[in-house]
Amino acid sequence: MLDQRLSIAPMMDWTDRHCRAFHRMLAPHALLYTEMVTEQAIRFGKRDHLLAYSPAEHPVVLQLGGSDPAHLAEAARIGRAYGYDAVNLNCGCPSDRVQAGRFGACLMAEPELVAGCVAAMRAAVDCPVTVKTRIGLDHEEGFDYLARFVEPVAKAGCETFVIHARKAWLKGFSPRDNREIPPLDYDVPRRLKAEFPRLTVVVNGGIETVGSVVAHLQNVDGVMIGRAAYQTPWFLAELESSLFGGSLPDRIELAMRYRRYIGEQLAAGVRLHAITRHLFGLFAGQRGGRAWRRHLSEAGVAAGAAIDVYDRALDFVRTADLVHAA
């Protein structure tokens, strides 16, 4: 069983393996997710590039996109062979590209198909198969609509549902709009847990404070943090301390721990910016934080940028602390 109390949302172009390595340092107990990977990409693409990760990331979940039960089962089997701790089916992304592939949020309109996908994946792997979805689709929303989706999927063997507490609009709204315009309704996932107590229910969407996380955990099994984890990553360290105990780490010491990871990745041929872009917000609101972000974003993109760029950015933070102390 995976601890679902705290997880970090799968976010396209954000939660790659370098981001996850950073988040793991901030929150050792959090459940991490990959970006969504289509079953087709896994079956026919460069698997090592798509599925490689650091062992330190465990527990980590592979999120899949697709709607063909046999193809998803094959992709899940491949992902499990790479050591992922669970497989999650994306039934919540509303983008046009995802809809064109017949996966993501549009699958809410086909619960029996999703049930078939879950059953096929369950038969293929020896790890949990979970579903991430929304509270509604277009003009359909609310508990009754969600329950009609959840019931057959749960019967197929899905025991964990991650509920983004907004409905998805498939036409007329961009993915960004879908993250902000439809109102949040946390009562729907709360009621889902109350009506289906045997299910593990995780709530996602607009959760940005330690207090709100603690409040949600009175009614559901877990909380998934999205953009706040990326934009203000120190929030994860605060949650780790609040939910699992222990003192907050020192930010500079944590940055030095991540420096070792950067060195390993640079030696493997990874560009500096691909790694450090995830750290821009580490010192947000702190002395030297703006200089840190500016230097990494400007000098880090240069061809051949090396570890000295990172060290210089860290010097800005140290110097600001020394000036303040003096």
Residues classed as catalytic:
93
Closest listed residue to residue 5, CA positions, set 247, 220, 248: 220
Check if the beta carbon of residue 189 is closer than 8 Å to that of residue 175.
no
Helix, strand, coil: what percent of the chain each, to 5? 50, 15, 35
13 backbone φψ class: left, alpha, beta (φ>0; ψ -120 to 50): left
Check if the beta carbon of residue 272 is closer than 8 Å to that of residue 304.
no
For tokens 């990977």, what's the residue?
Answer: 37
Q: Is 208 exposed, middle or buried (0-12, 13-18, 19+ CB in 10 A)?
A: middle
The 10 Å CB-count burial string (b at 16+, else e) for 35-72 is bbbbbebbeeeebeebbebeeebeebbbbbbbbbbebb
Closest listed residue to residue 224, CA positions, set 18, 39, 23: 23
